[in-house]
């Protein structure tokens, strides 16, 4: 909307503040009515003497005169008339750019420039604030978008960090956020701009983030290494109840660490040194402990179902027994492991692979060895009293199994 000051003459007598209409004819009709002049005699001039024949050359708060009283028109008027004929939608004046339609639009959001097309801002969310700012009617914007900076970009006093995902959503219809962008901030901007279809997606992302923050997220190899390095050798490192599921901890020196109740499911602990660790009631199901050192380990009632313990060493030359009483080793692979003197009392070893294991002096009293494969194992002086040996395989045993080992 453009307002101009209309005066009877150059001396600014009898002035009126008027709103410019769409055409020069309509505007002259209003002027003739206000100043009691016949419409045919209405002529409008700038102060330099140029006659006004098109309302598009008028600017807000322009001064217009009905009579100049002797001031002659300058040659500039001819230049202006030629300019009016060529005038379409492009003008070097940044003020005029705020009123004429352009296919490409540059926005200055919080000091950062974003260039996009008018159709991007209008098409997807026609009722949003951005769409209403740049909606077209008769080759002009329905509303004045905003003030512009020196480069002609439209100024919007909002955060550019949260505006970028909104602009990308208007471009391709997907909500994609960088990991350092808070969905809550984008949600606030979506509400401000009126991007209604984006709001449910952002609510879903917030719910997922809230759910993840409430879960016990698994630590990584780097987290464990950092803790090991920072803990003095004379202090106990405790990972009690910590979630390390799926972590790659192969070949790490983890001696004397307290993993009680920790989740180590599907961890890669191959070649790791877990000597004298506390694994009581820890979850090591389907973990890979191939070639691990388990000297003097305390794994009372631990869950090692389906774990790979092939080639493990549990025999401590100093005589400290590995305590694995009540452990669940159902379906585990212990082939070729050194398990001398290990305590596996009432352990579950159903369907476990114990081929070629060293089980000398091992305590297997009350253990469930149903369908176990003990072929080639050394059970010299092992205690098997009360053990369930149903369908267990004992082929190629190094030492004969004595009745005293199996009867209570």
Among 19-33, 46-60, 241-255, 359-373, which is the least confidently predicted range?
Answer: 46-60
The answer for residues whose C-beta is within 8 angstroms of residue 212's C-beta and 6 or more apart is none
**Whether the predicted pLDDT of 114 surpasses 90:** yes
| Contact call for residues 278 and 259 (beta carbons, < 8 A) | yes
Q: What is the pLDDT of residues 68-111, one digit of tens each?
A: 664 444 444 555 455 445 444 344 444 444 445 568 889 999 99
In the chain, count H helices and then E strands.
Answer: 10, 8
- Say how far apart CA 190 and CA 163 lie, in whole Å: 8
- Say how far apart CA 385 and CA 373 lie, in whole Å: 18
Mean pLDDT, rounded, for 361-369: 94
183: left (phi over 0), alpha (psi -120 to 50) or beta: alpha
Hey, what domains does the chain have and what are their CATH numbers?
A: 3-87 (3.10.20.90), 104-214 (3.30.710.10), 234-408 (2.160.20.80)
Write out the DSSP string of 195-223. -GGGHHHHHHHHHHHHHHHHS-PPP-HHH
**Whether the predicted pLDDT of 216 surpasses 70:** no
Q: What is the pLDDT of residues 168-215, one digit of tens each?
A: 999 988 998 988 889 999 999 999 999 999 999 999 888 877 766 555
Query: Can you read off the two tokens belonging to residue 2?
Result: 């453009």
**Whether the predicted pLDDT of 38 surpasses 60:** yes
Q: What is the pLDDT of residues 127-162, one digit of tens each?
A: 888 888 887 765 555 556 678 889 889 999 999 999
Q: Say what the pLDDT of residue 95 is.
A: 41
Return the number of other C-beta atoms located less than 10 Å from residue 390's C-beta: 11
The answer for residues whose C-beta is within 8 angstroms of residue 7's C-beta and 6 or more apart is 13, 14, 15, 16, 63, 64, 65, 66
**Whether the predicted pLDDT of 14 surpasses 70:** yes
DSSP label at residue 306: T
DSSP label at residue 45: B
Q: Say what the pLDDT of residue 306 is.
A: 95
203: left (phi over 0), alpha (psi -120 to 50) or beta: alpha
Q: Say what the pLDDT of residue 8 is.
A: 83
**Whether the predicted pLDDT of 350 surpasses 90:** yes
**E strand or H helix that includes residue 63:** strand 62-67
Q: What is the pLDDT of residues 18-32, one digit of tens each?
A: 888 777 888 888 888
Q: Say what the pLDDT of residue 211 is.
A: 66
- Residues paired with 137 in a beta bridge: 140
> What length is written for the chain?
408
Question: What are the Cα distances from residue 391, in Å, to 305, 396, 405?
Answer: 20, 16, 17
* Residue 219: HSE in the Cβ half-sphere, 13 Å Cα cutoff: 17
This prediction's pTM: 0.49
**Whether the predicted pLDDT of 11 surpasses 50:** yes
Mean pLDDT, rounded, for 321-326: 95
Q: Say what the pLDDT of residue 144 is.
A: 60
Question: Phi, psi at residue 170, to the nearest 5°?
Answer: -65, -25
By C-alpha distance, which of 297, 331, 300, 326 is closest to 313? 297
Question: What are the Cα distances from residue 208, in Å, to 203, 213, 336?
Answer: 9, 9, 45
Q: Say what the pLDDT of residue 388 is.
A: 93
* Residue 282: HSE in the Cβ half-sphere, 13 Å Cα cutoff: 30
DSSP E strands, 163-321: none
Strand, coil or helix: 391: coil
């Amino acid at each position: 909307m453009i307002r101009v000051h209309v005066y009877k003459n150059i001396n600014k007598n009898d002035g009126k503040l008027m709103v410019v209409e769409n055409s020069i004819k309509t505007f002259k009709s209003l002027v003739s009515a206000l100043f009691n002049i016949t419409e045919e005699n209405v002529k409008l001039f700038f102060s330099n003497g140029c006659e006004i024949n098109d309302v598009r050359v008028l600017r807000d708060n322009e001064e217009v005169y009905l009579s100049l009283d002797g001031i002659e028109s300058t040659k500039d008027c001819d230049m202006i008339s030629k300019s009016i004929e060529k005038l379409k939608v492009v003008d070097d004046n940044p003020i005029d750019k705020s009123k004429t339609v352009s296919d490409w639009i540059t926005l200055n959001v919080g000091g950062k420039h974003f260039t996009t097309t008018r159709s991007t801002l209008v098409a997807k969310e026609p009722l949003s604030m951005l769409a209403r700012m740049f909606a077209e009617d008769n080759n002009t914007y329905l509303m004045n978008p905003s003030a512009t900076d020196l480069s002609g970009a439209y100024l919007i006093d909002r955060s550019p960090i949260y505006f970028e995902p909104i602009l990308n959503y208007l471009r391709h219809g997907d909500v994609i956020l960088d990991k350092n962008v808070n969905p809550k901030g984008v949600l606030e901007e979506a509400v401000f701009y009126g991007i209604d279809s984006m709001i449910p997606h952002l609510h879903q992302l917030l719910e997922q983030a809230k759910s993840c923050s409430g879960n016990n997220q698994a630590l990584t190899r780097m987290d464990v290494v950092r803790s090991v390095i920072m803990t003095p050798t004379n202090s106990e490192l405790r990972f009690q109840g910590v979630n390390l599921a799926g972590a790659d901890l192969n070949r790490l020196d983890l001696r004397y660490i307290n993993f009680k109740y920790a989740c180590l499911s599907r961890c890669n602990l191959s070649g790791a040194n877990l000597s004298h660790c506390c694994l009581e009631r820890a979850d090591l199901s389907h973990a890979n402990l191939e070639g691990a050192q388990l000297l003097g380990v305390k794994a009372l009632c631990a869950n090692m179902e389906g774990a790979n313990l092939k080639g493990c060493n549990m025999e401590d030359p100093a005589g400290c027994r590995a305590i694995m009483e009540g452990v669940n080793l159902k379906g585990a692979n212990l082939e070729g492991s050194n398990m001398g003197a290990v305590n596996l009392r009432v352990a579950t070893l159903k369907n476990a692979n114990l081929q070629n294991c060293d089980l000398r002096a091992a305590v297997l009293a009350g253990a469930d060895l149903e369908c176990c494969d003990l072929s080639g194992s050394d059970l010299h002086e092992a205690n098997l009293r009360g053990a369930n040996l149903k369908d267990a395989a004992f082929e190629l045993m190094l030492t004969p199994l004595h009745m005293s080992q199996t009867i209570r």
